[in-house]
Amino acid sequence: KNQVEQSPQSLIILEGKNCTLQCNYTVSPFSNLRWYKQDTGRGPVSLTIMTFSENTKSNGRYTATLDADTKQSSLHITASQLSDSASYICVVSAREYGNKLVFGAGTILRVKS
Amino acid sequence: DGGITQSPKYLFRKEGQNVTLSCEQNLNHDAMYWYRQDPGQGLRLIYYSQIVNDFQKGDIAEGYSVSREKKESFPLTVTSAQKNPTAFYLCASSMGVGVEQYFGPGTRLTVT
């Protein structure tokens, strides 16, 4: 069964600190891996998208890494801000199933001052 | 102002009633999707449509119905047959299947 597992489930950090969120997947073969940010009560917004041949991609203070061999991805947030408080969702596109998206449950990040 | 709109933001219904959630996009996207989000779970696909007048069941279509009469609109009806309808519903659209999906703001449905 194609799955996407994220850890930790939730995380609390102090403003200005860095953090790293993890994503392990079993989807294979896959077309791409995406990270979304979802504010409470809102729709997800795309942060990064990587194909299987890419190792890293940055979007401002967000940097995603991908190891296709171990089927792991991480999202690193640098110098966190209060506005980073949100759920971060890892999504893998399953090539075998017409690029169907398989969603992780998300990591809830809370940044406090 | 381009984007995807969903209405209403909050919806309350009594058990046994059908309810229709609205989703409109002005991005000229061909594909549209409906997802359901429950606490502690990833988004699950209910229905999707790749083109006008055509739609396909997703992973959890039972108790739901959709129509795609216009490119811009993809309404979702939650029927009384859906056993656990209380959830956060998200609509998305994309230029085609497998490319970037853009999400609407969501509708929170509560059925009592």
Residue of B nearest to A6 (CA): B42
Q: How far is CA A10 from the centre of its chain?
A: 13
The whole-angstrom distance between B14's CA and the closest CA on chain A is 22
- Which of B27, B101, B108 has the highest number of chain A CBs within 10 A, making it the mutation to test binding with A? B101
CA distance B64 to chain A (A): 19
pLDDT tens per residue, range B28-79: 999 999 999 998 888 999 999 999 999 999 999 999 999 999 999 999 999 9
Residue B2 pLDDT exceeds 80: no
Q: How confident is the model at residue A97 (pLDDT cuts 50, 70, 90)?
A: low
User: Which phi-psi region, left, alpha or beta, contains residue A41 (left: φ > 0; alpha: ψ -120 to 50)?
Assistant: left
Query: Which of B88, B83, B94, B90 lies closest to B104, judged by CA?
Result: B90
Q: Which residues of A touch B92 (CB under 8 A)?
A: 43
pLDDT, tens only, A17-39: 999 999 999 988 888 999 999 99
Assess contact for A34 and A93: CB atoms under 8 A: yes
User: In chain B, which residues have their Cβ closer than 8 Å to the Cβ of A9?
Assistant: 40
Do the bridges between strand B107-111 and strand B10-13 make them parallel or antiparallel, or are there none, so unpaired? parallel
Q: Which chain B residue lies closest to A104 (C-alpha atoms)?
A: B42
